[in-house]
Structure 1
């Protein structure tokens, strides 16, 4: 199982003024954090795309390209790229360049978009939400398999024997599908034989078991190679030396960000009881000390048959120092325990 980290580039909020941290500062911190992830031997880093004032990263490719120059081994991906409001040709070209720059370490994780700010920003109609994704995924996969492309669709100008350059290393880019829990999206990934990342950020992860079963069943029924089967989860996480102290310090930051997002979606105010359940063995939060977190990761690896676990580590914008500490604990304490257990 690959062990990695994802981030959205959450910006800290000044309690006195209500102003957000500067994007410049946060971007520089993210590069330092990715460099440390590589140094401590983690397998994967993913950065998400958002177009809101509380996030620093509207273009994951820029962060990935910068990270490619200061890392050696870690895979670099988007988590996610909102494919529905992107141009698949330009998206492929950007990721192919990162793949070349990094020596074949780039991944593109495509999603329909849990956050929808990019649709009006780039001139797309939300009524076309699913149709846009289906068509653009078809074009992206066609480009990934063919240097010269002839393609016709509804939402984009046709391509007629057009060369799409540069090409990814080995002429094929690693493309994942990210989903939030929609069975139709899981079935689509399984039919196409694409690796799947399921976001589990609340409630009890066991509730997602039917989606994992559905994905594997669909994948195998469509004749895809079992040896290439890949499935992962993305869950909110933060690691520390003392679970009680970490919980006390992190809850206000986490709850504030959940409420900022929730206000636009009609969610009720985030409660301490939700956070405490999330931290329990049966909850979706991976917040705590190394030994307990290694056990929790192993529990869900066995339950779901995971090939990747992504600890989403900057919800609510913990300090750079706390994130660096969390990354260090993950790479030097949690990852070795998990790898040792899986090697038995």
Structure 2
């Protein structure tokens, strides 16, 4: 099993103290968390993309390029790249550049994105967001693989023998499809034989497990070898301590602060108590053995081989956050690495170059 640390760079009041740090400090924290993840031995670090309050992660290529310059081993992920909002040509240019600057350590997790404010900002509607996401991905995918692209598109000017530079380092790049509750992302991933990353952070396990089962069905429907399936899954929180009592006591102020923050945003919490959150959500709060057992329970339903953890302290003190991540890496990760397989592909500084597959002459809209 592989492990990622992921941040959306939330910029709001601290869940416990109520203090809101300056924007520059929040960016610095995000970068420091990436350095900590590499130091502790995480396999990847992800930066989300959101274009609305309270997030400041609107430019993952810039943030990840800075992190790439300060790290040497850890793979760099987008979590997620909101292709429904982006021009695929411009997105390709950013990420092909980052691919080179990172030495081929880049992977993408794509998705349509969430939130009405960012849809309005980019003039995307609920009716066309899935078609935009599919078209943008199909064009992005072809630009990455082909020197010249012709595409009959609906949501941007058509491409006619278009050359887009720079050409990438990895050929091709690995693209995961982020999915929360909708089947459209799952269908797109299965159609192209791409890996799936389940959000797995808001609800109990059932809707996510159902969607992953659907992904496996669609994967086989499209004629792909079941042995090639790769699934990643998120977690709603982390606090590892020597005992469950210590873990719950230390995490309680952060949970209550985040609960109050959700209510201020007008969100109805799914888990109203810490005990329910620790039991029924994907959060990993407890002793190392409890965490190992919980990941295994989820693995029985998901069959996932990649797990993401929250890179941010999220209301914990910096010391507790670091100690928790360190304990996870020393006492939890080695066991899960032995007991749960890795994804069925290489995980290194750059992907091997396969023989390119010929593509159709044009991309029909929404296909």
TM-score with structure 1 length normalisation?
0.89
Q: Which residue of 2 aligns with 1:20?
A: 20
Pairing 1:321-332 to 2, within 5 Å after superposition: 321-332=319-330
Task: Work out whether residues 89 and 164 of structure 2, in 8 Å CA contact, stay in contact via their aligned partners in 1.
Answer: yes
Which residue number corresponds to residue 192 of structure 1? Answer: 192
Residues 39 and 279 of structure 1, relative CA distance in 2, 3 Å threshold: same
**1:246-275, CA deviations, whole angstroms, 9 ceiling, x for partnerless residues?**
2322212321333344x2xxx4356633x4
Instruction: Give the paired residue count.
Output: 337
1:1-344 to 2 correspondences below 5 Å: 1-13=1-13, 20-241=20-241, 242-261=246-265, 263=266, 267-268=267-268, 272-273=272-273, 275-280=274-279, 282-314=280-312, 316-342=314-340
Distance 2:161 2:143 in 1: 11
Q: For the residues of structure 1 that align with 2:19 and 2:248, how far apart are their CA atoms?
A: 29
**How far apart are the structure 1 equivalents of 2:16 and 2:321?**
23
Give the distance between the partners of 2:289 and 2:112, measured in 1 at CA. 35
Task: Provide closer, same or farther for how the CA distance between residues 112 and 143 of structure 1 changes in structure 2, counting only shifts above 3 A.
Answer: same
User: Which protein has the bigger helix share?
Assistant: 1
CA 1:127/1:208 → structure 2, altered by over 3 Å: closer, same or farther?
closer
- Structure 2 contact 15–257 (Cα < 8 Å) conserved: no
Using structure 2 for the length normalisation, give the TM-score: 0.84
In the TM superposition, residue 103 of structure 1 has moved relative to its aligned partner by 1.4
3-state SS of paired residue (1:170): coil
Give the conservation status (yes or no) of the 8 Å contact 2:203–2:281.
yes
Q: CA–CA distance in 2 between the matches of 1:53 and 1:285?
A: 24
Q: CA deviation at 1:170?
A: 3.1
With over 3 angstroms needed to count, the CA separation of the structure-2 counterparts of 1:90 and 1:324, relative to structure 1, is farther
Q: Distance in 2 between matches of 1:48 and 1:140?
A: 19
Give me the whole-angstrom Cα distance separating, in 2, the residues matched to 1:31 and 1:143: 30
- Quote the offset at 1:45 in angstroms: 1.4
User: Which consecutive residues of structure 2, in runs of 5 or more, have no partner in the other structure?
Assistant: 342-367
- SS of 2:281's partner is coil
Q: Is the contact made by 1:38 and 1:71 (CA closer than 8 Å) also made in structure 2?
A: yes
Note the C-alpha offset of 1:100.
1.1
Distance 1:16 1:25 in 2: 18
Relative to structure 1, the CA distance from residue 99 to residue 79 in structure 2 (aligned partners, 3 Å threshold; closer, same or farther) is same
CA spacing shift, 1:49–1:298, aligned 2, 3 Å: same
Considering only aligned residues, what root-mean-square deviation do their CA atoms show, in Å? 2.4
CA spacing shift, 1:271–1:176, aligned 2, 3 Å: closer
1: CA distance between counterparts of 2:340 and 2:14?
Answer: 43
Higher relative contact order (CA 8 A, sep 6+): 2
Cα deviation, residue 177, structure 1: 0.8
- Offset, 1:292: 1.6
Per-residue deviation at 1:52? 2.9
